[in-house]
Amino acid sequence: MASPGIEALCLEIRNILLARRRHLAEEIGRHPRPITACDVHFNRLLEERALLSEEIDRFDQFVAGSAVLTEQTKERIRSSGENVVCP
């Protein structure tokens, strides 16, 4: 059985990653239309959003493969936070 501390830590990590991705999605949405391949700031935001999405996927795979966490705990962690659909 997993320690409540492990679940809380996993939830906190995932929520921090999701919050940062949400913030980036909002910033991208407010950003003026870029000139294709010329807007360094906009391209950096897109790159960071993609990297965060990959990091969240890796974290979810780590949680899914854990031998310490119960299936119920894994599901609570996986479904935590508000997922932002990023194009």
Q: Cα angle at 24 between 23 and 27, to 5 degrees?
A: 90
Please report whether residue 40 resides in a domain: yes
* Distance separating alpha carbons of residues 63 and 75, to the nearest angstrom: 9
Q: Give the Cα separation of 83 and 22 in Å (integer).
A: 8
pTM: 0.73
CB 64 within 8 A of CB 78: yes
User: What is the domain extent for residue 30?
Assistant: 4-78
Domain tally, the chain: 1
- 64 within some domain: yes
Q: Which residue has the tokens 């950003």?
A: 31
What is the per-residue pLDDT across 6-43, written as a single tens digit (0 to 9) for each? 989 999 999 999 999 999 999 988 888 766 667 788 88
86, part of any domain: no
Q: Of 50, 17, 46, which is closest to residue 31 (Cα–Cα)?
A: 46
74 within some domain: yes
Q: Average pLDDT, stretch 40-59?
A: 92
SS3 59: helix
Evaluate whether residue 84 is within a structural domain.
Answer: no
For residue 85, being part of any structural domain is answered with: no
- 66 confidence band (pLDDT: 50, 70, 90): very high
Q: What mean pLDDT do residues 62-85 have?
A: 84
